[in-house]
Amino acid sequence: MKIIEKAERLNILGIDPVVLNRYCEPHRFYHTLDHLDEIWQQLEAQGYGDNDVLLLATVFHDIIYDPRSATNEEDSAQYFNEVFTGDAALKALVSDIILDTKHHKPGSALSEVFSAADLNILYQPFDKLLVYERQIFKEFQFVDHKIYREKRAEVLRNLKQGVDNPALNYLITYVENFKPSIAVYPGSFNPFHKGHFNILQKAERIFDKVIIARGANPGKDKATYELPEALRYHQTEIYEGLLTEFIDSLGYDITIIRGLRNGSDLQYELNQYRYLQELGNKNINVTAIFCDMEFEHISSTGIRQLEKYGRAGEYLL
């Protein structure tokens, strides 16, 4: 990657290239090292390959990225100011460029150059815009799709102002009409452990979106464990009552995910499926997924027992 190739230059500027590891965080799908490479390729093509201000702006403009946060730009600028101890004038220029990306209203000539490179994706043909949209969709998995669809179309319409690209109209229409394949992964999850996470990861290779639904099970103990930080960027819901009623309340077609460890789980889930058919839609969809062998012995009950002896941690996320 072109940005990684600049490691020696970053060292000379007093920046440890390890900061680039932030772009490998698991919740990033668009705001990654690939995004930095695309920006830097444009800047090099325009003759800015030796410009330290633009190099640092490229590296740090998305260094802090939390899709749940409204202060990513401010936090990225603050992080840059904390780690960069070089020339004060250069530092101020880079910080201003990072802050300008919040609303893409450049305050300087270099900021205008950088903003154009950062927003170049909006000028691409529809096939590339579609890849971009799917990456953003994945970054906002924690948002209910009905809300995402409305807000995302609004963002794209705002970005479209001043952008002469008819393909953006097609993208907005796509966002407004796209019906993703959505699954619900229900359970008491007391606790949500590595076996559950293994099932979730497999489900996410099948479906566009997986909602974790934590239900109050009358036959099990009241939940005493919080959901792990690893689920921070997933949509999580809590429901009481029948699973079929919860699914109906979501308002779109849903497939239920059931995790299996062995044949006994399969027989149990088959019985549960019959209840779902009788209590809900006869055509309700259920996908059963076996966990990998290394997780088949893990259970929430077993973990709660091990907790008493301080040995549960290795099975938790």
The pLDDT tens digits of the residues spanning 162-209 come to: 899 999 999 999 999 999 999 999 999 999 999 999 999 999 999 999
Give residue-wise pLDDT tens across range 1-22: 689 998 999 999 999 999 999 9
The neighbouring-strand residues paired with 186 are 213
Q: Are residues 132 and 20 in the same domain?
A: no
How far is residue 163 CA from its own chain's centroid? 27
| Cα angle value 42/48/49 (rounded, 5°) | 85
Look-up: residue for tokens 């088949």? 296
Q: Are residues 104 and 135 in the same domain?
A: no
Peptide bond preceding 191 in cis form (omega within 30 of 0): yes
Look-up: residue for tokens 């800047």? 43
Q: Write down the pLDDT at residue 221.
A: 62
Does residue 77 carry a pLDDT above 80?
Answer: yes
Q: Are residues 153 and 262 in the same domain?
A: no
Q: Are residues 83 and 26 in the same domain?
A: yes
Band of residue 282 on the pLDDT scale cut at 50, 70, 90: low
What pTM does this model have? 0.92
Q: Write down the pLDDT at residue 1.
A: 63
Nearby residues of 210 by Cβ (< 8 Å), 6 or more positions away: 141, 182, 183, 184, 185, 200, 203, 204, 234, 257
Q: Are residues 135 and 18 in the same domain?
A: no
Q: Are residues 98 and 132 in the same domain?
A: no
Q: Which amino acid is at 192?
A: F
User: Domain residues for 11?
Assistant: 4-118
Q: Are residues 112 and 213 in the same domain?
A: no
Q: Are residues 90 and 173 in the same domain?
A: no
How far is residue 221 CA from its own chain's centroid? 31
Domain boundary among 118, 145, 168: 118
Report the pLDDT averaged over residues 35-55: 97
What CATH number should be reported for the domain holding residue 268? 3.40.50.620
Q: Are residues 128 and 221 in the same domain?
A: no
Rounded Cα distance, 63 and 309, in Å: 40
Q: Write down the pLDDT at residue 280.
A: 67
Band of residue 223 on the pLDDT scale cut at 50, 70, 90: confident
What is the chain's mean pLDDT, rounded?
A: 93
**Total of domains in the chain:** 3
Does residue 123 carry a pLDDT above 90?
Answer: yes
Domain boundary among 162, 177, 192: 177
The neighbouring-strand residues paired with 210 are 183
Q: Which amino acid is at 100?
A: D
Q: Are residues 169 and 230 in the same domain?
A: no
Greatest mean pLDDT among 53-62, 213-222, 238-247, 300-309 lies in: 53-62
Rounded Cα distance, 184 and 213, in Å: 6
- In the chain, the percentage of residues whose pLDDT exceeds 90 is 80
Q: Are residues 106 and 140 in the same domain?
A: no
Q: Is the dihedral of CA 261, 249, 154, 232 positive or negative?
A: negative
Kindly list the strands in the beta sheet with 182-187, ordered across the sheet, starting from the edge strand earlier in the chain. 236-239, 209-215, 182-187, 255-260, 285-290
Domain boundary among 94, 118, 142: 118
Q: Which residue has the higher pLDDT, 219 or 226?
A: 226
Rounded Cα distance, 286 and 183, in Å: 9
Q: Are residues 54 and 9 in the same domain?
A: yes
Pairing of strands 236-239, 255-260: unpaired
Band of residue 264 on the pLDDT scale cut at 50, 70, 90: confident
